[in-house]
């Protein structure tokens, strides 16, 4: 069994909208102070591991997380890829669940909210992963992106297990792309956030 490429998916640090329960989607919301600290924690962890290149969504919350990681590894190339952006939430972006119910009613999920289609999400996301696999065969690649997109990509890449849990901010999920069957070696790991700042 040949490992073609290893992908380390990192979800961005936390934002004010995350804390308020607001749908972010393609809205360009920055990290808050805690989000920056979380990014510094994951950067400290990844710096001690072996990685070859970083890809990031162009949205500022992911890009800033990636830049903080890259700052710890100055020899590493950082590549922006808009295909790694979060799923577009259409009309619900910027709203909380309570606001959605107030505006559209309890059954808002059954209405046309202008969400990005599953086909569009999977098409652009998998196209990016295929390009990464082709350009960086046998390498270890960090992909800094968003919870919704990473979950969809996991469902496409790992077909024998369901990954339904939401991904935590700055969590690390490692997937090995193999010639026969891909495998998930680590899922939603936030051990770096539990460590004391000194360690």
* Residue 12 is among the residues annotated as catalytic for this protein: yes
Q: Which candidate in 40, 49, 77, 86 is catalytic?
A: 86
* C-alpha distance across the termini of the chain, in Å: 36
Closest CA to 182 of 157, 150, 156: 157
Q: Residue 46 CA to chain centroid, in angstroms?
A: 15
Q: Where are the alpha helices (DSSP H) in the chain?
A: 16-20, 33-47, 60-72, 97-104, 118-135, 147-157, 191-194
Q: Which candidate in 12, 136, 146, 192 is catalytic?
A: 12
* Residue 86 is among the residues annotated as catalytic for this protein: yes
Residue 120 φ/ψ, nearest 5 degrees: -65, -45
Residues annotated as part of the active site: 12, 86
């Amino acid at each position: 069994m040949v490992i073609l490429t290893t992908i380390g998916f990192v979800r961005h640090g936390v934002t004010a909208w995350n804390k308020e329960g607001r749908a972010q989607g393609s809205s360009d919301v920055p990290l808050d102070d805690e989000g920056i600290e979380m990014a510094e924690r994951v950067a400290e962890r990844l710096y001690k591991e072996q990685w070859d290149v970083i890809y990031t969504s162009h949205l500022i919350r992911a890009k800033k997380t990636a830049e903080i990681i890259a700052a710890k590894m100055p020899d590493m190339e950082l590549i922006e890829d808009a295909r790694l952006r979060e799923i577009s939430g259409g009309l619900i972006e910027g709203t909380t669940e309570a606001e959605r119910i107030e505006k559209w009613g309890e059954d808002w999920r059954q209405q046309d909210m202008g969400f990005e289609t599953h086909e569009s999400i999977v098409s652009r996301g998998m196209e990016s992963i295929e390009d990464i696999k082709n350009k960086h065969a046998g390498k270890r690649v960090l992909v800094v992106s968003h919870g919704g997109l990473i979950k969809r990509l996991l469902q496409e890449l790992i077909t024998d297990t369901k990954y339904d849990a939401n991904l935590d901010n700055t969590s690390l999920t490692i997937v090995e792309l193999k010639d026969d069957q891909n495998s998930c070696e680590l899922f939603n790991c936030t051990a770096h956030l539990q460590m004391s700042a000194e360690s």
